[in-house]
């Protein structure tokens, strides 16, 4: 604790705990706007380690961290996509 006085629990310990205890999955459905999803958009999701499934022209994103998923919803909404939970 000599380096950072604001640290209560080490980040590695928190990440290990989340991996073993965060078992509930949350998902959102992303609908395209006026045209199909671009390869660049799909690559953006996969490069950022999102678990995606494409179904009937829509993308379903699944995640165990609800806050991380909420951040993605805000980002996608700002980009003009319709997001449904």
Q: Find the mean pLDDT for residues 22-28.
A: 87
Tens digit of pLDDT for each residue in 27-64?
Answer: 999 999 888 899 999 999 999 999 999 999 999 999 98
Q: Indicate whether 14 belongs to any domain.
A: no
Q: Indicate whether 37 belongs to any domain.
A: yes
Give the CA diameter of the chain.
54
Q: What SS3 string covers the chain? A: CCCCCCCCCCHHHHHHHHHHHCCCCEEEEEECCCCCCCHHHHHHHHHCCCEEEEECCEEEEEECCHHHHHHHHHHHHHCCCEEEC
Mean of per-residue pLDDT scores for the chain: 88
Q: Indicate whether 47 belongs to any domain.
A: yes
Q: Indicate whether 4 belongs to any domain.
A: no
Q: Indicate whether 60 belongs to any domain.
A: yes
The more confident residue out of 85 and 77 is 77
* Structural domain boundaries, residue 79: 24-84
Q: Find the mean pLDDT for residues 17-24.
A: 77
Q: Please count the structural domains in the chain.
A: 1
Q: What is the CATH number of the domain that holds 62?
A: 3.30.70
């Amino acid at each position: 604790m000599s380096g950072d006085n604001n640290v209560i629990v080490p980040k590695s310990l928190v990440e290990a705990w989340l991996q073993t205890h965060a078992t509930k999955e949350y998902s959102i459905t992303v609908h395209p706007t006026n045209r199909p999803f671009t390869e660049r958009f799909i690559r953006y999701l996969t490069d950022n380690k999102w678990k995606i499934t494409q179904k009937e022209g829509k993308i379903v994103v699944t995640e165990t961290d609800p806050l991380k998923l909420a951040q993605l919803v805000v980002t996608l909404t700002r980009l003009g996509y319709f997001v449904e939970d």
